[in-house]
Structure 1
Amino acid sequence: MGEATGGVLAEVLGERQHQDAKWGQQNHAPEVWLMVLAEEVGEANQAVFEALFPRFDKRAAERGPRDLAEYRQELVQVAAVAVAAIESLDRQGSRG
């Protein structure tokens, strides 16, 4: 782990707190968590695609080239959802 790991994990924790404030404690079945996680991964895919290939998206092309900040934020959300799924699994007594 590098020096940046602590900062990244703090961002993930902040996103987890945001999720709990917005949605409350979530205790979904594993298949629901996978769908939520897949949706977040899809948003990360779209963010990086639009940043790297704006010519394929009319709205992105009008905005011009983008940096990867939105992609990075989506990755933080992916990590936070994965943590939430693990927390839920543990609360439900399904720890492997």
Structure 2
Amino acid sequence: MPRSTGNVLAEILAERQRQDAKWGGQDHDPSTWLMVLAEEVGEANQAVLEMLFPTYDKRAAERGPRTLAEYRQELIQVAAVAVAAIESLDRQDQSPG
């Protein structure tokens, strides 16, 4: 059953809260945020790769095939990191308007 946009956004918010609980508030420069975001996108790519080719390497073969649910969770993390980067940028940009 498709999830509504509101439900997906609630999941992203919950992931943001989990990230803040784990790491605390973070204010990185834009290039650091892009590296963190790229790492998360890489994990989403990894999930799809292991779903499509579950025996491509020994670790993936031992773990078994990934699922669409795992890929989806990685996308939630990508979105949450993007939100964290925007929040950080907004905190650092104190210019009017």
Range class of TM-score, shorter chain: 0.7 to 0.9
RMSD: 2.0
Give TM-score, length-normalised by structure 1.
0.87
Seq. identity, %: 78
Q: Aligned partners of 2:34 and 2:74: how far apart in 1?
A: 16
Residue identity opposite 1:10 in structure 2: A
Q: Deviations over 1:48-89 (max 9, x none)?
A: 100111131233334444321111111000000000000000
Give TM-score, length-normalised by structure 2.
0.87
Q: Aligned partners of 1:69 and 1:60: how far apart in 2?
A: 16
Residues 4-83 of structure 1: matches in 2 within 5 Å? Answer: 4-83=4-83
- For residue 27 of structure 2, give the secondary structure of its aligned residue in structure 1: coil
The number of equivalent residue pairs is: 95
